[in-house]
Amino acid sequence: MADNHTEGPVPSAAPSPGDHASGPPGTGEPESPEVRDARTAVERAQEELRRAQEVYEDLRRDAVTQLKRIREQTVGELVESGLAFVRRHPGPGVVLGAIVGFILGRFFRR
């Protein structure tokens, strides 16, 4: 039977925080371009993820605030705010009316 026991310290698979400038742990070799590129890509991805999480939190917070505001309004206030929007933006109001009319026409068609 073969003995798989090696003597001496076993190098750690995870690099220590200051090991970015070296190759495989304990070798003292410089890091390969592929490893450096991969590390840079991972760092960029982590930064993009952090930014996306911030944007998501901002949008979620705004949506919750708007939903609370809408729930507190009466039907009359909602209709009035819809009419005020159409007065301020007549083009999108006409397009929205045409879309709603088309959908209602399709829904109630015989």
Tens of pLDDT, residues 26-36: 566 778 899 99
What is this structure's pTM?
0.42
* pLDDT for the residue 12: 47
| Placement of tokens 């705004």 in the chain | 62
Arithmetic mean of pLDDT, 84-95: 91
**Residue whose C-alpha is closest to residue 64's, from 75, 53, 76, 72:** 72
* pLDDT for the residue 61: 95
pLDDT tens digits along 31-74: 889 999 999 999 999 999 999 999 999 999 999 998 898 888 88
